[in-house]
Amino acid sequence: MGSGVRLGLALGGGFLRGVAHIGVLKVLAAEGIQPQMVAGTSAGSIVAALYCGGWGIREMEQLALSLRPHDIYDFGPMFFNLGAMAVKVLADAFHLPFPFPSPLGLMSGYKLESWISRLLGRKTFRQLARQLAITAVDIHRGHRIVFVSEVVQHRPPSGDIYFIAGLPVAPAVRASCAVPGLFEPRYIGGRLLVDGGLRENVPVEVLHLLGADVVVAVDLGYEGEEYKPVENMVQLLSQSLDIISTEVTRLKLAEYAHVVIRPVLTGVTPWDFSRVAYCITRGEEAARQALPEIKRLL
């Protein structure tokens, strides 16, 4: 890498497809390319947190290959929450009292947060080996919330990004992964936070604000390919969010990303854990194609 060049890597959301980020990091590491800062959204926040928390690429790959749905998903209360949500909707429709708090998602997200805490040893952002930024969205105000190690003084012209410094990493990851409807939002600092992908699925602008000279983005989103037939609500939600965020993502990438890596991950659903190895390989292939341009900029 050229002297003084600050490389930022933006890892986008994409449910299970997020393990493709491991393949990208694997190729960069083999070439001696190490980003000074990493920003992650949703699934990208998990890989970004582990990488900045000192996990080796091989360790992350083995972790991903051994991952099972029950490791991160709260299946226990899911059916109760679904029933409670349905009863609440009916009670509101007929103006009937509903004496219990209505769940705000099918799963709490507590299991995912506990899993991250175990893997990182409850580290805070200031204790990480590399500079990390994780994004979420304040569902009440629509603001973008970015968790970082140090306070960022300047704000973008839009004024709707708020930086929060030095907190534990695991709650930030859970907030960034809180897909509306699937996971309950996470309260942090008086804010009700949901998936950062609602505003910026590939957090390239954040890296620009943090001072990156070169921004490499990994976009796992929808690129016009035909999806597999929808078989369940989670798959429907995943594909809908992909399509909704496409145009905003393209505009952000065009403005702030110097290189965009787009792994081809056709037909990978949120529950398809048997395709983890396939996703990692696709990430490697896409990263190799982008290497000449990355090296030119560095």
Could you give the residue numbers annotated as active site?
Answer: 42, 195
- How many CB atoms within 10 Å of residue 296? 9
Helix 110-120 and helix 169-176, axial crossing angle in degrees, nearest 10: 140
Kind of pairing between the strands at 131-138 and 191-195: antiparallel
Contact call for residues 175 and 186 (beta carbons, < 8 A): yes
Helices (H) and strands (E) in the chain, counts: 10, 11
Residues 51 and 48: their CA atoms lie apart, in Å, by 5
Tracing tokens 């490697």 back to the chain, one arrives at 284
Tracing tokens 């048997």 back to the chain, one arrives at 274
In eight-state DSSP terms, residue 124 is B
Q: Which amino acid does the sequence have at 255?
A: E
DSSP string, 196-234: GGGT-SS-HHHHHHTT-SEEEEE--S--SPPPPPP-SHH
The three-point CA angle 47-50-51 to 5° equals: 85
In eight-state DSSP terms, residue 199 is T
- Residue 8 sits at φ, ψ, to 5 deg, of -115, 140
Q: Which residues pair with 38 in a beta bridge?
A: 9, 132
The 3-state DSSP class for residue 118 equals: helix
Token pair of 96, please? Answer: 């009937």
